[in-house]
Structure 1
């Protein structure tokens, strides 16, 4: 079991012993197994999660039953249904454990308290959210403009070590293509086309 380490999560920031104790007290460590559900649609979303090890997947299920993968969260990534988390509402996303993971969860109320008592935490989250927003915008533009082969190449750059751990239909739903198209792209790349 990987214990919470303030240095692992808040890289580049220094804390007094009192701040360290306060921050460490606000996080809870969870050990997840492949297939464990972290969040289901319709639930309130009081937490966000920092992935210390493993991989989680956030996805949406349409009324037709089709799944759309929004995000994979690997080591050093954060994940939640952020729309519901910040609005203190009900989730439209599901989050499952793709392969065994250790995550550290923190509630919105705990985050708000840390913002007030440990100012560099607020700076950290602001920087993280700015990067997340920029990344999310790039992903949307990629989905709108790039051919499937380039989307797949971008996926491999973003997530270099998880392809062998995820199901083909999860990857295809992330890329917005069919599993048949994914197989075709892999074959073309293997042949050097």
Structure 2
């Protein structure tokens, strides 16, 4: 149980589980350890797992036709990450999901998640809550992207995700904010001079 205590605690923040339900859930989970720069999802392959980050840092990103990468999301301790479009709709992934540091993950396969939902229907509520939170955060990000300049987006990110900002490389953060590495360096330097 100790290996799965973090994810069980996460789930129990949203739904109550009997000991039997908890044991069944755990039986469907798999621990995966990845090295820095290792991919857990790659474009053109169907994403078969929903991934919970026990310890570590990952990012999902795409590469456009010009070869520019665009970070879509980060996942650090106690967060979820995947190519959800591929996972939910069983289509080839469009995103890379890469470890930014050596990480310990817990995964559930698509088929096992369907079995879980059919066996313990209250997990529908759990995944609905995850989806609602994800959608609300996505909307906030879109609004920040269209209403704030680069410095404002950086400040917003620092206020909302200080732990992420401290752990991810500057190139990945610049990619997430939609700015060049050089512009982010200037914004950071200007911020340091002000304080």
TM over 0.5: yes
* Counterpart Cα distance in 1 of 2:33 and 2:157: 26
Work out which of the residue numbers 64, 70, 77 in structure 2 matches 1:62.
Answer: 64
* Counterpart Cα distance in 1 of 2:134 and 2:163: 20
* Counterpart Cα distance in 2 of 1:11 and 1:181: 42
Work out which of the residue numbers 24, 27, 47 in structure 1 matches 2:26.
Answer: 24
* Counterpart Cα distance in 2 of 1:141 and 1:161: 22
Q: Which runs of 5+ in 1 are unaligned?
A: none
1:71-110 correspondence to structure 2 within 5 Å: 71-110=73-112
Q: Deviations over 1:63-97 (max 9, x none)?
A: 11100000011111111111111110100000000
Work out which of the residue numbers 150, 169, 172 in structure 1 matches 2:171.
Answer: 169
How much has 1:32 moved relative to structure 2? 1.5
* Counterpart Cα distance in 1 of 2:141 and 2:182: 22
Deviates more, 1:175-184 or 1:11-20: 11-20
> How many residue pairs were aligned?
192
**Contact 1:99–1:165 (CA<8 Å) still a contact in 2?**
no
Work out which of the residue numbers 142, 148, 152 in structure 2 matches 1:140.
Answer: 142
1:120-135 correspondence to structure 2 within 5 Å: 120-135=122-137
* Counterpart Cα distance in 2 of 1:106 and 1:161: 26
Match of residue 11 from structure 1: 12
Q: Which runs of 5+ in 2 are unaligned?
A: none
Q: What is the TM-score of this pair, normalised by structure 2?
A: 0.92
* Counterpart Cα distance in 1 of 2:184 and 2:65: 24
**Contact 2:8–2:22 (CA<8 Å) still a contact in 1?**
no
**Contact 2:30–2:108 (CA<8 Å) still a contact in 1?**
yes
Tell me, what secondary structure is at the counterpart of 1:183?
Answer: helix
Match of residue 158 from structure 1: 160
How much has 1:180 moved relative to structure 2? 1.4
Q: CA RMSD in A?
A: 1.6
How much has 1:158 moved relative to structure 2? 3.1
* Counterpart Cα distance in 2 of 1:33 and 1:79: 16
* Counterpart Cα distance in 2 of 1:56 and 1:173: 14
Structure having the larger proportion of residues in helix? 2
How much has 1:14 moved relative to structure 2? 2.7
Tell me, what secondary structure is at the counterpart of 1:96?
Answer: strand
